[in-house]
Amino acid sequence: MCLWLYNLVVLLGLLFGLAQSTRLYTEEDPVVILSSDSLKQTVLNSSSAWLLQFYSSWCGHCIQYSPTWKALAGDVKDWAQAIQIGVVDCAHEKNFDVCKEFGIHFYPTFRVYTFSNISSYWRCTTVQL
């Protein structure tokens, strides 16, 4: 019985370790990978609209949705002057504070950021699924 339990713990540890190192999005994907270092500067200094997905790399819904988000980003990549598709991994320790600052409580959370040249302000819309 103890050997069975030990093997289970080792297996779960290996699986958890692999899950932690797996990334949903890579630099080869058509999405813009943002982090606490780049999120505000990139989005708020842009003249194009941004569709952002705040996700967690361990979230089942996020994992299932990632191919759709990549496909959307690929479909609009030629429209970069008008719209950009970005992602922020809130499970990454480096991004904890920025996700909290942006009020992210659930995964995935989709937000649309648009800039109004008329009044010079950024507007954010949260999309509920």
Out of 62, 90, 99, 124, pick the active-site residue: 62
| 62 a catalytic residue | yes
Beta bridge partners of 114: 123
Beta bridge partners of 112: 51, 125
Token pair listed for 96: 């904890």
- Cα 10 from Cα 76, distance rounded (Å): 44
The contacts of residue 81 (CB under 8 Å, 6+ apart) are 47, 48
Token pair listed for 56: 């967690």
Out of 59, 90, 99, 124, pick the active-site residue: 59
- Neighbour tally for 55: CB within 10 Å: 26
Q: Return the biggest CA–CA distance within the chain.
A: 70
Residues with catalytic annotation? 59, 62
